[in-house]
Amino acid sequence: MNLHEYQARALLKAAGIPVPDGEVVTTPEEAEAAARRLGGKVVIKAQVHAGGRGKAGGVKLAGSPEEARARARDILGMTIKGLVVKRVLVVPAAEIASESYAGIIVDRASQKPVVMVSPAGGIDIEEVAARTPEKIFRVAVDPRYGLLPHQAMGLAFKLYRQIDQVRAAARILEQLYRVFIDAGASLVEINPLATTPDGKVLALDAKLVVDDNELERRPEIAAMRDLDSEAPEEVRAREAGLSYIKLDGTVGCCVNGAGLAMATMDLVKYYGGEPANFLDIGGSSNPQKVVAALEIITADKNVRVILFNIFGGITRCDDVARGIVEATGKTPLDRPLVIRLTGTNEDQAVAILKEAGFSALTDMDEAVRQAVALAKERA
């Protein structure tokens, strides 16, 4: 789950990291009033789940409260990477002497959190990584001990020469590591980590991605979810208890179990097709999940054929069949359906489907080949 900048800032601030105060507003008039309270000269920042807002025109400096209103009017309602800006953050404009980068990610290779810093901050860190990788410094942290003081100091020395600034940055890295662990994050970033002309070190931007699996034990963070800013089909899938990830292909997949869902996508690709999604209806037997899954898959206009691949264990094939019949009874399908099911209550499932005019296969390979062929025919 992505947090907005203003939410991430609040968590950083609570951990002691120096972050300028700000106010979140939804109208130009509120932006003007906020700017007045914050001392006149402010930065107006679009609150959307996208990086590169600066480049896209979503971060603007305003020299006065009146100008703050005008800039907020420009930014509210604009679209950045497909996301409509509904809120802006108003923060006092800091004077910037230098911009660095600090971030922590979960590194799959070392299976540890990796703390990264770069003196080339401010802009796209991906670009720095691609063009001048020698400007990024990393330390893998043993989660049993956390980020140790000497590791934090070592990284901070890569950013600054003045000892006060080095100490300030080291402290910020240790605090950032606490936020990362306490929030159950998979990524946290400060970019820019700025210095001011009078030597202070400040976090001027914050990005935090929380691992969805950590949300159950962190209700206060789960409550920060902004449904407005997520893809509607993904919201719908989560509410229905489905694991769904939209992809760009044409074969809509409805599968039980993540492993089988991955194997199905592999096989679709193997036979020259492209999966339109990953969708795991999970282990439980519930026709309603199948109804929801079909609604979500058919809402995707790229889908040319729908492929069910069910290996009945705890999931009962007859429940899946009932879901298919119920869903297609309500809204008849406008695209072909290929059904493969085998396992628990397979015979009942075949009977239910047959009565409704559907046929089912038991062989996965054959089902995938059929689905890919149909998708190609309908190109």
Contacts with Mn ion, residue ranges (CB under 5 A) = 191, 205
Question: Residues with Cβ < 8 Å from 182, sequence gap 6 or more?
Answer: 15
**Minimum separation from the CB atom of position 137 to ligand GDP (A):** 19
Strand ranges in the chain using DSSP code E only, listed in sequence order: 23-25, 42-46, 59-62, 79-80, 83-84, 88-92, 98-107, 112-118, 137-140, 185-195, 201-203, 207-210, 243-246, 251-255, 277-280, 305-312, 337-343
Position 241 contacts ligand GDP (CB under 6 A): no
Residue 324 CB neighbours (<10 A): 29
By beta-carbon proximity to ligand GDP, the closer residue of 160 and 358 is: 160
* Structural tokens at position 265: 């996508």
* Residue from 5, 30, 32, 101 carrying the catalytic annotation: 101
Residues in Cβ contact with 143 at an 8 Å cutoff, skipping those fewer than 6 apart:
112, 113, 181
Give yes or no: 189 in active site.
yes
Least distance (Å) between residue 40 CB and ligand GDP: 13
Nearest Cα residue to 90 out of 5, 191, 14? 5
Within 172-191, the residues that bind ligand GDP by CB under 6 A are 191
Binds ligand GDP (CB under 6 A): choice among 22, 28, 65, 192:
192
Asked if 326 is an active-site residue, the reply is: no
- Candidates 30, 174, 189, 346; catalytic one: 189
Q: Which two tokens stand for residue 11?
A: 């968590």
Buried b (16+ CB within 10 A) or exposed e, 7-34: bbbbbbbebebebbebbbbeebebbbbb
What is the smallest separation between the CB atom of 230 and ligand GDP, expressed in angstroms? 18
10 Å Cβ neighbour count for 274? 15
From 30, 67, 99, 280, residue interacting with ligand GDP (rule: CB under 6 A): 99
Cα–Cα dist 188/210, whole Å: 9
* Residue whose Cβ sits closest to ligand GDP: 54
Residue 7 near ligand GDP by CB under 6 A: no
| Closest distance of CB 204 from Mn ion, Å | 8
Residue 93 touches ligand GDP, criterion: CB under 6 A = yes
209 binds ligand GDP (CB under 6 A): no
Member of 67, 205, 318, 346 binding ligand GDP (CB under 6 A): 205
DSSP 248: S
122 scored as a contact of ligand GDP (CB under 6 A)? yes
93 binds, among ligand GDP, Mn ion, none (CB under 5 to 8 A by kind): ligand GDP
DSSP structure string for 306-319: EEEEEEESSS-HHH
Choice from 78, 96, 114, 187 touching ligand GDP (CB under 6 A): 96
Binding interface with ligand GDP (CB under 6 A): 43, 45, 51-54, 59, 61, 91, 93-94, 96, 99, 122, 191-192, 204-205
Catalytic residue numbers, as ranges:
101, 189
